[in-house]
Structure 1
Amino acid sequence: MTRDFPAGNYSYIPAVFQYSSGVKAHPDFEIERVRFDQPVPLADGFSMIADYIEAADRPLTSFCACELRSPAAVDEAGFRAFNERYVTTLADWGIFDGVGTNNPVARSNVCPEIDPPLEPSFYAFCFTRPMLGARPSFVIAGGAESRGGPGSYPERIVRYRDLSPAAWQDKVRFTVGEMESRLGAFGHGWKDTTATQVYTVHDFHAVAADELVRHGAARSGLTWHYARPPVVDLEFEMDTRRVSREFVI
């Protein structure tokens, strides 16, 4: 099930208050992805993003996705505290109502194992812009091996604290399935993607052929970031997208 966010000219897959599970541009609009050459601390990043979007003659509500980098994985309480700070700017921009339970902006947030930033920072962001006859474009948010629904992370993590070969296959298989479910919500599949990113500090190659390549997740290759998911005890995260216009600033 998807919802429209008319102010941003995109639809989204509802998830939780801190992010959505994915976004797709409306017809005659496309998503542009902009990556920072170096991660930019959160406050400065929001300011630079606002300047970039406004220079493109677009409203701040067109902000639809972002990729974050954090110093280290945190526990559930720390993760919630960060998210409550993060969404205040989205509320100021008219994207998040401040009291709702879902948020239209898709997101990934991972922690580089080597040379991490000193504070939470922006790695990349996306926004919508008009383009007559544009081909479909979408961004699927980062997802790890954690089941949805009630319960703590230890209760929901697939094969919690188990890194055996069989458990690792289950973790990757679950995450790939979650990506496929989100793609399907927009009427798409792996064949429609232009990029896929993987985040882990573990060697996942033993299951890559069967669980990733054979499913089509590597149709445009795989970008592996040596980073951890943002919550302690999560081990594997992915995101994927179809975006034709990408820049580095």
Structure 2
Amino acid sequence: MPLIDHPLGGYRFLPGIAPYSCGVISAPGFEIVHVTLHRPAPYRRGFEVIGRHLASEGRPKAALCGIELRSPCPFSFGGFAEFNAGYARILEEWGLFVEGVNPVARTNVAPEVDPPGEPVLYGFSYSRPCDPLLPATIVVAGAGELPEGVLGAEGIVRAGDTSPEGIAVKATFVMNLMEHRLRGLGRDWSTVTAIDIYTIHPIGRLLPEVILGRVGEAGAHGIRWYYSRPPIDGIEYEMDLRGVRTELRIG
């Protein structure tokens, strides 16, 4: 799919499925800023936090281009669809959709230890003006071992296989998907500043070849491993990426 311009957002996006886009890249003269909430907020109230922050930066709601959520536990596919419907209504109320297409990238995972009691907002990304000579910045949405555009149990790669070999196959599939999204945004691993992995399965054996061996100079920034499950029951391994200059922590 070709990149789509957000007419008011200061970014372009790679279309995905109804709940989220596959990723975003800043438009010329803008950068994407990544924000982490020191204390995650219930996700509906979290949008109030986002609104206040954007207002303080002089940015419109349309500048919001990335959302990171944490859930109490993985959803069933049906439960995930129900949650996504409510989430999408908020984005629509904010006027973020572009000709009916959701432009906002998203990651939603379930911490295995001390999970929240309800879905919470952990972080978000937005665009703001910058020196037009600076390179573009990006956010790649989270994805697990499901083919692009598929949201059904029949698509899970090596479904039910949590052996070391099975997890390696899943991780390789997700790495390929991340690279595909990077290319879709017109970028490559050299532009990535943060690589996040979400799984409860050991990743030590994956690091040399499956992950670090493929990311090149991006490996200098390390890997963040969140001991969390992907958002849907039956999916075992998820990643997301970003390449930004500005990281903020609020709250």
* 1:136 corresponds to: 136
Contact 1:35 1:123 in 2 (8 A): yes
* 2:246 corresponds to: 245
* Aligned 1:200-239 pairs, distance under 5 A: 200-216=199-215, 218-239=219-240
Separation in 2, partners of 1:36, 1:218: 25
Backbone CA RMSD of aligned residues: 1.4
Tell me if 1:19 matches 2:14: no
Q: CA deviation at 1:148?
A: 2.8
Separation in 2, partners of 1:22, 1:162: 28
List per-residue Cα deviations over 1:89-112 (Å, max 9, x = no partner).
111111026x93x31000000000
Separation in 1, partners of 2:62, 2:148: 27
* 1:88 corresponds to: 89
Q: What TM-score do the two structures reach when normalised by structure 1?
A: 0.95
Tell me if 1:108 matches 2:107: yes
* Aligned 1:45-60 pairs, distance under 5 A: 45-60=46-61
Q: CA deviation at 1:183?
A: 0.4
Separation in 1, partners of 2:168, 2:36: 31
* 1:180 corresponds to: 179
* 2:80 corresponds to: 79
List per-residue Cα deviations over 1:45-98 (Å, max 9, x = no partner).
00010010011111100000011100000101100111111111111111026x
List per-residue Cα deviations over 1:131-176 (Å, max 9, x = no partner).
12232100000011111345x6321111000112322211000000
Q: What TM-score do the two structures reach when normalised by structure 2?
A: 0.94
Contact 1:213 1:219 in 2 (8 A): no
SS in 2 for 1:174: helix
Contact 1:195 1:241 in 2 (8 A): yes
Separation in 2, partners of 1:209, 1:43: 40
List per-residue Cα deviations over 1:16-39 (Å, max 9, x = no partner).
111000000101100111110011
Separation in 2, partners of 1:236, 1:208: 14
SS in 1 for 2:24: strand
SS in 2 for 1:129: strand
SS in 1 for 2:214: coil
Q: What one-letter code is carried by the residue in structure 2 that aligns with 1:137? A: T
Contact 1:8 1:61 in 2 (8 A): yes
Structure 1 runs not aligned, ≥5 long: none
* Aligned 1:142-153 pairs, distance under 5 A: 142-149=142-149, 153=152
Tell me if 1:44 matches 2:49: no
SS in 2 for 1:128: strand
* Aligned 1:145-164 pairs, distance under 5 A: 145-149=145-149, 153-164=152-163
Q: What one-letter code is carried by the residue in structure 1 that aligns with 2:144? A: A
Contact 1:39 1:117 in 2 (8 A): no
Q: CA deviation at 1:219?
A: 3.5
Contact 1:148 1:156 in 2 (8 A): no
Q: 1:106 to 1:149 in 2, by over 3 A?
A: closer
